[in-house]
Structure 1
Amino acid sequence: MTRIKRRYYTLVFALFMSFFMSTLMSGVVTLINTGLSEGFVERWLRAGIAAWVIAFPLVSLIAPLAHRLTRRLVEPGGD
């Protein structure tokens, strides 16, 4: 299997994180707002895509800051 170069780590991380979080959160919010009624999946998918379009660039920008803050707060080394 071909692997992606290390320099793209933050971008690939942002891709996965934004996809998972926007999909899950849009599902929860859609469920809360409209209930599990007819057309739920379509509404969820529409909301998920709209959320992901916004989430991906934001996570791409924010991930390096979050990593730096985490490194400052968490002790280095093993458990």
Structure 2
Amino acid sequence: MNMPEVNRARRRLPAHYASIVTPFVLSVIMTFVVSAISTLKSLGFSPEFTSTWPQAWGLSWLVAFPTLLLVLPLVRRIVRLIVEHP
């Protein structure tokens, strides 16, 4: 019995969502790394690290994502002033 062919193409968000998705992904990755380094520096490799780090990451992400949404347009303008246009 042949199974129906699964559509391999993934659905994508429309392009106008890029202004939300970009800071979302950036904030997730950056807070992941920075909170891990900060928590590791404070606690070292200890049992407290694994319980403290996710909380630190969550809190830092809650601050970072809205901040990026507000600041990113200004950052783009500053970059346009600094970087030569193609």
TM-score (norm 2): 0.82
What stretches of structure 2 of length at least 5 have no aligned partner?
Answer: 1-9
Match of 1:65 in 2: 74
- Give the count of matched residue pairs: 77
d(CA) in 1 for partners of 2:13, 2:81: 27
Where 1:71 maps in the other structure, the secondary structure is helix
* Equivalent position of 1:27 in the other structure: 36
Output the CA distance in 2 between the equivalents of 1:25 and 1:63: 19
Structure 1 residue identity aligned to 2:52: R
Flag as ranges the 4+ runs of structure 1 deviating above 2 A.
none
Matched with 2:85 is 76
Contact 1:10 1:64 in 2 (8 A): no
Q: Please identify which structure carries the higher helix content.
A: 1
Taking only aligned residues, the RMSD between alpha carbons, in angstroms, comes to: 1.0
Q: Look at both structures and tell me which one has the larger radius of gyration over its CA atoms.
A: 2
Which amino acid is the alignment partner of residue 25 of structure 1?
V
Matched AA of 2:28: F
- TM-aligned CA deviation for residue 39 of structure 1: 2.7
Correspondence 1:51 to 2:65:
no
Any stretches of 5+ residues in structure 1 without a counterpart? none
What is the one-letter code of the residue matched to 1:14? P
Structure with more contact order per residue of length (Cα contacts < 8 Å, sep ≥ 6):
1
The 2-side partners of 1:61 and 1:4 are apart by 21
